Amino acid sequence: MKRMMSRTCKDYERVWRDLCVDKNLQDGWLERLNSLQTLNLAGICEGHPDRSPGAPGRFPQINLRLKEAFLPGIAGHWEDLRSAMLNEASKLFQLGDTDVRIELKFWLRAGRGKLIYQEDLMVRVRSYQTRDAAEMDIETSGWFERAVERIHEIDMAVLTWHGQNPTAK
8 A C-beta contact, residue 142 and residue 24: no
pLDDT of residue 31: 98
pLDDT of residue 169: 46
Backbone angles phi, psi at 53, to 5 degrees: -55, 135
Q: What does the pLDDT profile of the chain (169 residues) look like in tens digits?
A: 655 555 689 999 999 999 999 999 999 999 999 999 999 999 999 999 888 776 778 899 999 999 999 888 787 778 877 777 777 778 777 778 898 888 988 888 887 888 888 889 999 999 998 888 888 999 999 999 999 999 998 898 888 877 765 554 4
User: What is the model's pTM?
Assistant: 0.84
8 A C-beta contact, residue 69 and residue 37: no
**Nearest residue to 40 (alpha-carbon basis) of 62, 16, 9, 13:** 62
Backbone angles phi, psi at 79, to 5 degrees: -55, -50
* Calpha distance 110→72 (Å, rounded): 19
Q: Tally Cβ neighbours within 10 Å of residue 80.
A: 10
